[in-house]
Amino acid sequence: MKNKFSEQLSLALDRHKESTQQQVADGTHISPGQLSRLKNGSRNTDPQIRKSLANVINDFWLSYSGARENFGVLSFQNDRCLKGDMFSALMRQKKEQQEREAMEAEFENAIAINPNDRTPAQQLVIERYPREYAEEISAEITDLAKKAEYAGIPMDKLQEVIDKVNQENG
């Protein structure tokens, strides 16, 4: 069963055919069999191996996927529409953004209520909203990266911008 990272690993290896799977395995100090299991999702990996794979393959999307998995953020990129109908994916993203904005209003109303007086529905919104907000951030980064890619901006240049913002803002 594929997971988010294995899906992105498969796509990255397909995009970067200049490196063989043997070269990638050697560069990350894992066996070709282990790389195959990571690619097909039958084996999970630790953050260090994900980082090493992203560095060896030098793929923005793989790096981003590995970072999301480290922090438990949901994967917008797991949407199959991104691999085909980009317009459909963007329309879905807008719909999900509107739903998150509505949830944000519910969240703000719920946190204003004394914790002992909250309904179960309000408590559920409080528990769900941070994850939904993280998904929104992920979707925005994906949108930025896709637009940059379409504009011809190299992913390593975009990564430099994101790294700089992360350094400045933490």
How do residues 128-165 score in pLDDT, each as one tens digit? 888 888 877 877 887 788 888 888 898 888 888 888 88
pLDDT of residue 122: 92
Task: Map out the domains of the chain as residue ranges.
Answer: 4-71, 80-169
Q: Is 110 helix (H, G, I), strand (E, B) or coil?
A: helix
- pTM score: 0.46
Q: Which residues contact 3 (CB under 8 A, 6 or more apart)?
A: 41, 44, 69
pLDDT of residue 69: 52
Contact 32, 3 (CB under 8 A): no
Report the pLDDT averaged over residues 44-64. Answer: 77
How do residues 82-130 score in pLDDT, each as one tens digit? 445 556 666 776 777 788 888 899 999 999 999 999 999 999 989 988 8
Q: Which of 51-55, 63-67, 140-144 is predicted least confidently?
A: 63-67
Instruction: Report, in angstroms and rounded to the nearest whole number, the Rg of the chain calculated over CA atoms.
Output: 19
Residue, of 80 and 8, whose pLDDT is higher: 8
Report the pLDDT averaged over residues 60-86. Answer: 54
Contact 52, 93 (CB under 8 A): no
Q: Band the pLDDT of 65: cuts 50, 70, 90.
A: low
Domain 4-71 = CATH 1.10.260.40? yes
pLDDT of residue 103: 87
pLDDT of residue 87: 63
